[in-house]
Structure 1
């Protein structure tokens, strides 16, 4: 059994690896070491996540997928969530989340221990479904509130589109002027390469070769 950690953030400006040290510590407390880490910046509302699919493809029968919270794994609609569960079931992959204590049993022996084990697995499956549904509802509620806020701002003539992160852009601009490479700027400012390229274009700095 291998433990494979999955880390996700919705946008490239967010730090998808934020919870990595916490998950590594959690695995160690359970007597395990994380064998592989899969990180990506993609929406949890879609199955078009290359690193998640890579994890499932790499996984062996009975491996464990470790996540900080279920919403890191999925904010999927019902149909997509059922499809993802089928992919996991085909390899008997277990999902372990710090927010579901009953899931910790997957980090112990994966062999059946009788009636109690069956009950815990059933409870864990129900909790996974419930938390996935809650994550989806939270996603839909936030999208609806965002749409309502934009519609109201437009009607009042106050909508100006998505605001730029001026403080971060100033930091990036300063680093670029100092001659730092894109990689050095990215590591220092904790930002996407696309944002660096945008700031460089505004400064009319040479773009980095791809």
Structure 2
């Protein structure tokens, strides 16, 4: 059985073209989501499909960058599929991991997808550095209410990961807030 996966990076983008292509490719079920492909985090529809797929099934995508933007994620997904006996097919690229040529091609495209992501990140950092130098970009303003909530929860003995979950912020931001407090105390 063929199952389709469609993904776009933002809410403003449409999944319609991908869904149409996947249905034309014979997918009986198509799942889609609007979330960044730079990591697997937060991609619930992809995780649901990966849990659902069984031996002999095929996961169909339009292009490899709809599935993963990093070589590590792509490799992990392909290994999961292979371990289950599931093939990966891309409608717009010569990828079908049921063949040696398809497996080789998916690896090559993964390298290029990661390279593209890294180039985009470098350009973004260069733009931010330039804007900071020109005094245009100063970063995000501190959210003092949120910072106080972090401190209050920490005083209550709540772990950093749990603080992040409760407040809807990343664990690294919690660490940054708490580390900044320590720096201020010990100066």
State the TM bucket, normalised to the shorter chain. 0.5 to 0.7
> Could you say if the C-alpha distance between residues 67 and 102 of structure 1 is closer, same or farther in structure 2, counting changes exceeding 3 Å?
closer
Any conservation in 2 of the 1:100–1:124 contact (CA below 8 Å)?
no
Q: Do the aligned residues in 2 keep the contact of 1:17 with 1:39 (CA within 8 Å)? A: no
Work out whether residues 45 and 77 of structure 1, in 8 Å CA contact, stay in contact via their aligned partners in 2. no
Quote the residue 2:78 is aligned against. 85
Normalised by the size of structure 2, how large is the TM-score? 0.66
SS of residue in 1 equivalent to 2:17:
coil
Equivalent of residue 125 in structure 1, options 80, 92, 103: 103
3-state SS of paired residue (1:132): helix
What residue number does 2:33 align with?
40
Cα distance in 1 between the residues matched to 2:95 and 2:89: 9
Q: 1:156 aligns with which of 134, 147, 150?
A: 134
2:95, 2:106 within 8 Å by CA — same for their partners in 1? no
**Which structure has more RCO (C-alpha within 8 Å, separation ≥ 6)?**
1
How far apart are 1:14 and its partner, in Å? 2.0
**Distance in 2, Cα, partners of 1:151 & 1:102:** 39
How far apart are 1:77 and its partner, in Å?
3.9
The CA deviation at 1:160 is 8.1
Gaps of 5+ in 2: 141-187
What RMSD over aligned residues (CA atoms) do the two structures have, in Å? 2.2
Judge conservation of contact 1:5–1:66 (CA < 8 Å) in 2: yes
> Retained in 2: the 8 A contact 1:10–1:42?
yes
Q: Moved runs in structure 1, 4+ residues, more than 4 A?
A: none
| TM-score for both structures, normalised by structure 1 | 0.60
Using the TM superposition, give the Cα deviation of residue 40 of structure 1 relative to its aligned residue in structure 2, in angstroms. 1.0
Say whether 1:65 aligns with 2:43.
Answer: no
Supply the distance in 2 between the matched residues of 1:84 and 1:24 (Cα, whole angstroms). Answer: 22
